[in-house]
Structure 1
Amino acid sequence: MKFTEKPISSLVADRTAQRVVIVDQTQLPFVVEQRVLLTWQDCAEAIRTMRVRGAPLIGVTAAYGIALAMLYDATDESLLIAKSALAATRPTAVNLAWALDRMQQLLASTDPAERADAAWQEADHIAAEDEKNNRMIGEHGLAVICEIHKRTGRVVNILTHCNAGRMACTEWGTATAPIYLAHKEGLPVHVWVEETRPRNQGLITQWELANAGVSHTYIVDNAGGHLMQHEKVDMVIVGVDRVSRRGDVANKIGTYLKALAARDNGIPFYAAAPISSIDMAIEDGVPEIEIEERDTSEVSMLRGWDRHGYVTDVRLLREGTAISNPGFDVTPSRLVTGLITERGIFAPNDLVSGVATETSK
């Protein structure tokens, strides 16, 4: 993937130096600042404060958190403490629990003397699989974009919400992978990038697309429905934090409204995610998926450049104002056209059987 600027990796693990280097995403896109994680506590803090974010990257970071824990204390007690603390950082993203369970399953049957090497190697595998899976998601999503372009003969306009891009994963992104591949293939694409209040994570998507040379326009969240009404959107593609077995999609707050508008205007609504984002223990996502309630300061404060070019935070609301800040919502499966996974695109009703069939091949 060719970027107009050399892209920085969201996470780099260095076994020799016994450290993990991340991009502090709370500073993006205003400042590109890297932070060094040396302990599992550092990893937990990075996940909790959203210095790393995006379901796939959260899972990868947690896996390296376990690896760092095993470097210093490879006992069963240390494993349990680190796993429990990491699991408590972000309740909505299922990739977190998936990665931690995978690490524990491996290490439980590994001699403590060999756990440090085994843990780091497994974390490396999880990271490599994420990149591979995202590329495959991109290939399957590209087919949808190609079909739309073939049918319309014009630029394909794609609306996305939040950031399910390179910074949310180890590479490619989920929702952005098809876009990057379409751009690479020379297909004319244009992306409507929603700001995604309250954390304005659309800024990260805009920053990524600008670096990749992909045509895009930044819009406020409430403009999406208007654009759909006026036939300026050909498809919606978003990322995922958790998917129920029947295909309900938990994603950044505001996603549900985009799906409603898409359905009302006959626009396909796709969610892109690896199979690891599917929670087979949850049937009905609306009542069963735990929704994280985030700090109220995310709503009351806003970050940007002042007129002198300095990054600054400003207060939007008076102290003491009652604020509710749910981080996610759940889009019912009836509004989802398809789930784009590394194993193909599945209609919600075919998700469980389709995944099982592909797995058995």
Structure 2
Amino acid sequence: MSIPLSIKWNNQKLEILNQQKLPLEVEYLTLETLEDVYDAIITLKVRGAPAIGITAAYGLASAAQHYNTNSLDEFQQLLVKDALYLAGSRPTAVNLAWALERLKGSKPLTLTVQEAKGRLLEEAISIHKEDEASCRKIGEFALSLLGNHTKVMTICNAGTIATAKYGTALAPFHLGKEQGKKFQVFACETRPVFQGSRLTVWELQQSGVDVTLITDGMAAHTISAKGIEAIIVGADRIATNGDTANKIGTLNLALLAAAYQIPFYVAAPISTFDLTIESGKAIPIEERPAEEITHVAGKQVAPPNTRVYNPAFDVTPGRLITAIITEKGIIHPEYNKNIVTLLRTQKGEES
């Protein structure tokens, strides 16, 4: 058994694990054009905030190799245009915009166009490698925080196939398996597109982790009946005050954790923080097609013309979060102060 990978960069070609086909078929797709990358992101062939950012970075860098110009100004204009196009694919996940902005800022004005093309590919590869290292650190910090707690609940998929490797919320389970620690993971199915049942259960099984599937509506009973000791989730965007956007249903679990007095942890890289917004009220919430709710496996399960509200994410207030686990350390409340302190310290280390 081994940890599956979501993204591969082989011989200047970008390959992604087609998560639409999981768990019944393991298929890797080669993304050759910018349109291929956009489609893969918006149709959830690739998903998870870090994986989306990595894919977009490779997509933009690859597209730039085909710009037919010797003018740096024109090169930059084309780059900005393509970055804007990709940024519109998934608005909630901040890693997408973060990765694209990082690529746009990686080209000093003294470079030639050819040198700029090479620099963009180097930056995309760096983002990929850094994410794997970050996820491992997140997993190590999460293991220390979980301590003797082995019965843990999660939602959606914040795992290895949502990142470069190991994942965020699932990283302690993959690392724990490597180290001989035995977890009992309870995974919510995560309606409407079943990312918990199709993806989290599949990838934990690939690593040999003990995982049990429950429906979203079973969470409260399961916490009580099975003695759940902690809940850990990922994040798509975290505001300055700790408010966290994650897959729809996350807020439900945070409220249950508070009611049952068990810790509720968020695991995410520092690239997921958005200090341009003070609270979760400013986070855009993506709404997805009605068919995700009215149909299951292509079969209609709701009456025709049913009115549907299908937000893909919800926002958990920082006050419900016990701690936020990053690759740079564990952040505890007060988040308004401690998030800014950690990120400013990190910027100081990089300068």
Structure 2 gap segments, 5+ residues each:
70-74
Q: 1:88 — aligned with what?
A: 88
- Of 9, 12, 20, the residue aligned with 2:8 is 12
Structure 1 gap segments, 5+ residues each:
150-155, 304-312
Q: CA deviation at 1:106?
A: 1.0
Tell whether the 8 Å contact from 2:290 to 2:308 is kept in structure 1 after alignment: yes
Which range is displaced more, 291-300 or 271-280? 291-300
Q: 2:169 — aligned with what?
A: 175
Task: Give 3-state SS (helix, strand or coil) of 1:106's partner.
Answer: coil
- Once residues 115 and 318 of structure 1 are traced to their aligned partners in structure 2, the CA distance between those partners, rounded to angstroms, is 54
Which range is displaced more, 241-250 or 227-236? 227-236
- The TM-score with structure 2 as length reference comes to 0.93
Q: 2:269 — aligned with what?
A: 274
Return closer, same or farther for 1:359/1:104 CA change in 2, 3 Å cut-off: closer
Which letter does structure 2 place at the counterpart of 1:89? S
- Which whole-Å deviations, capped at 9, do the CAs of 1:197-218 have from their partners, x for residues lacking one? 0010012000011111111110
Equivalent runs, 1:51-70 vs 2, <5 Å? 51-70=45-64
Q: CA deviation at 1:98?
A: 0.4
- Once residues 275 and 203 of structure 2 are traced to their aligned partners in structure 1, the CA distance between those partners, rounded to angstroms, is 32
- The TM-score with structure 1 as length reference comes to 0.90
Task: Give 3-state SS (helix, strand or coil) of 1:114's partner.
Answer: helix
Q: CA deviation at 1:32?
A: 1.2
Equivalent runs, 1:40-189 vs 2, <5 Å? 40-73=34-67, 75-107=75-107, 109=109, 110-146=111-147, 148-149=148-149, 156-189=150-183
Task: Give 3-state SS (helix, strand or coil) of 1:107's partner.
Answer: coil
- Which whole-Å deviations, capped at 9, do the CAs of 1:148-202 have from their partners, x for residues lacking one? 34xxxxxx10000000011101100100111112222222210001000001001
Q: 1:356 — aligned with what?
A: 344
- Of 317, 324, 332, the residue aligned with 2:309 is 324
Runs of 4+ in 1 over 3 A off after TM superposition: 357-361
- Once residues 122 and 190 of structure 2 are traced to their aligned partners in structure 1, the CA distance between those partners, rounded to angstroms, is 36
Which letter does structure 1 place at the counterpart of 2:135? N
Question: How many residues end up aligned between the 2 structures?
Answer: 338
Indicate whether 1:232 and 2:227 are aligned.
yes
Which range is displaced more, 37-46 or 192-201? 37-46
- Percent identical pairs in the alignment equals 41
Q: CA deviation at 1:231?
A: 5.9
Q: 1:309 — aligned with what?
A: none
Q: 1:255 — aligned with what?
A: 250
Indicate whether 1:343 and 2:339 are aligned.
no
Tell whether the 8 Å contact from 2:3 to 2:174 is kept in structure 1 after alignment: no
Task: Give 3-state SS (helix, strand or coil) of 1:167's partner.
Answer: helix
- Once residues 45 and 98 of structure 1 are traced to their aligned partners in structure 2, the CA distance between those partners, rounded to angstroms, is 19
Equivalent runs, 1:202-213 vs 2, <5 Å? 202=196, 203-213=198-208
Which letter does structure 2 place at the counterpart of 1:242? R
Return closer, same or farther for 1:82/1:181 CA change in 2, 3 Å cut-off: same
- Once residues 358 and 69 of structure 1 are traced to their aligned partners in structure 2, the CA distance between those partners, rounded to angstroms, is 31
Q: 1:298 — aligned with what?
A: 292
Tell whether the 8 Å contact from 1:293 to 1:326 is kept in structure 2 after alignment: yes
Task: Give 3-state SS (helix, strand or coil) of 2:157's partner.
Answer: coil
Equivalent runs, 1:184-195 vs 2, <5 Å? 184-195=178-189
Which letter does structure 2 place at the counterpart of 1:171? K
